[in-house]
Amino acid sequence: MSSDFPVPQLSDKKYENWCIQMKALLGSQDLWDVVENGYTEPENESVLTNAQTEALKTLRKKDKAALYLIYRALDEGTFEKVAAATTSNEAWDMLNNAFKGAEKVKKICLQTLRGDFESLRMKESEAISDYFTRVLAVVNQLRRDGEKIEDGRVVEKILRSLDAKFDYVVVAVEE
């Protein structure tokens, strides 16, 4: 594993984006599987075959490499939240709980995002591309939090909520 590449830094407001970047980075280093699934330490290593011992050593090495990359992505304050973690899976779960919260918090966030999506309207002086960006930001956040939202629904929402000066475009698109 090379450590000559930049590691995405976690900031409070961009946890979901950081997760996506870290999953890609850890995947590129063949480490994501051990972060996501963890591994089980055997109770008695003396009963393992040579192949099992080598596989365990490989898993441990991958886990420590992943844990190191996670540590590198954290500032001192956030590091303290995961300093007690002994595996990359444990550190990842701690970060997930700290930044995303429990399922109840996630449900509340989804409710808020659904409301944001439904209330989106194009501003009178807003460029279409800026409005699309605002809509897609909310849609992407919904999807990251587990909401199944079809592209067709997004297109319908955009068409319904465009400024009145674009009514002729909406009629043409619908026909």
Lowest-confidence segment of 13-17, 101-105, 123-127, 153-157 by average pLDDT: 101-105
Q: Which residues contact 162 (CB under 8 A, 6 or more apart)?
A: 122, 128, 131, 169, 170
Q: How confident is the model at residue 12 (pLDDT cuts 50, 70, 90)?
A: low
pLDDT digits (tens, 9 = 90+) for 158-170: 888 888 877 766 6
What's residue 135's pLDDT? 94
CA distance 55 to 53: 5
What's residue 114's pLDDT? 94
Residues in the chain: 175
User: CA 68, 74, 76, 82 torsion: positive or negative?
Assistant: negative
pLDDT digits (tens, 9 = 90+) for 106-140: 788 889 999 999 999 999 899 889 998 999 999 99
What's residue 153's pLDDT? 94
- Find out whether 144 and 16 touch, Cβ atoms under 8 Å: yes
pLDDT digits (tens, 9 = 90+) for 60-107: 999 999 999 999 999 998 999 999 999 999 999 999 888 876 566 778
CA distance 74 to 78: 6
What's residue 72's pLDDT? 95
What is the DSSP track for the chain? ----S--PPP-GGGHHHHHHHHHHHHHHTT-HHHHHH-----S-GGGS-HHHHHHHHHHHHHHHHHHHHHHHT--HHHHHHHTT--SHHHHHHHHHHHHH--HHHHHHHHHHHHHHHHH----TT--HHHHHHHHHHHHHHHHHTT----HHHHHHHHHHHS-GGGHHHHHHHH-
Q: How confident is the model at residue 171 (pLDDT cuts 50, 70, 90)?
A: low
- Find out whether 71 and 79 touch, Cβ atoms under 8 Å: yes
Asked if pLDDT for residue 3 goes beyond 60, the answer is no
pLDDT digits (tens, 9 = 90+) for 29-50: 999 999 999 999 999 999 999 9
pLDDT digits (tens, 9 = 90+) for 48-63: 999 999 999 999 999 9
Domain residue spans of the chain: 12-100, 103-174
